[in-house]
Amino acid sequence: MTVTDLFDLSGRVAIVTGGGKGIGLQMATGLAELGADLLLCARKPERCEEAAGALSDAFDIRAIGMRCDVANPDEVQAVMDRALSELGRIDVLVNNAGTVWGSPPEDIPLEGWQKVVNVNLTGVFLCSQAAGRVMLGAGSGSIVNIASVAGLHGGDPEYMNALPYSATKGGVIAFTRDLAWKWGRRGIRVNAIAPGWFPSDMSQYVIGPHADELVKRIPLERFGGPEDLKGAVALLASDAGAYITGHTLVVDGGQSA
């Protein structure tokens, strides 16, 4: 097979949670460019529906947008059911949906902690479990969990005072490693991507007031751009990454080097 063949996703179906905007939409676009049919979901379905329509028109693929609160098991199952009924299969799951709570650790309310854990960690579990059941039946599949460099090391409170976010992203990395062991022999690869600073609605509250200081800590001297995660998700979702599982691919411009 050629390298082009290895990256080809024609005929495959990918689910991207939080796929209607930001890095979720960037990764969904990359998968669409390789020929994958898509189901994009988020708590605000309008963005996903709009993105699905645009990607369908641009790349001649099938694409669906719908609502899903990833912390709700019934809504997660509804996503899987619709993917199967309208697209016919589930080959790739990108667990991208996430949230954050910014506050000094001593001031974090329990509801703030639980909100982040429910979305960032429980949501990854529920979506992986539901999609995994389908993939196990098929004997193949790829799960790509979106972690963060915040899950690899501590953060300066002057810039990153979000303990629940860091804790859950570290949990996603551990979840990825262990699930890769559990399902690898049954045909499912499980990997993670740990992005660094990418401008988004969620990160802008940090990047906005601290851009000059933060970029000095990045060897490539820039923040992540609109193409920088496409190659990473393409590798892990496609046959190009067929011998990669349990890995966390850091995409941060060298920040954690």
Give the residue numbers annotated as catalytic, written as ranges.
165
Kind plus residue range of the DSSP H or E element containing 16: strand 13-17
The beta-strand segments (E) located in 160-208 are 188-195
174: Cβ–Cβ under 8 A, 6 or more apart, which residues?
Answer: none
Question: How far is residue 191's CA from residue 245's CA, in Å, rounded to a whole number?
Answer: 5
* C-beta of residue 215 within 8 angstroms of C-beta of residue 223: yes
Residue 16 to residues 4, 40, 44, 207, 213, Cα–Cα distance (Å): 23, 5, 14, 25, 32
Residue 253 CB neighbours (<10 A): 23
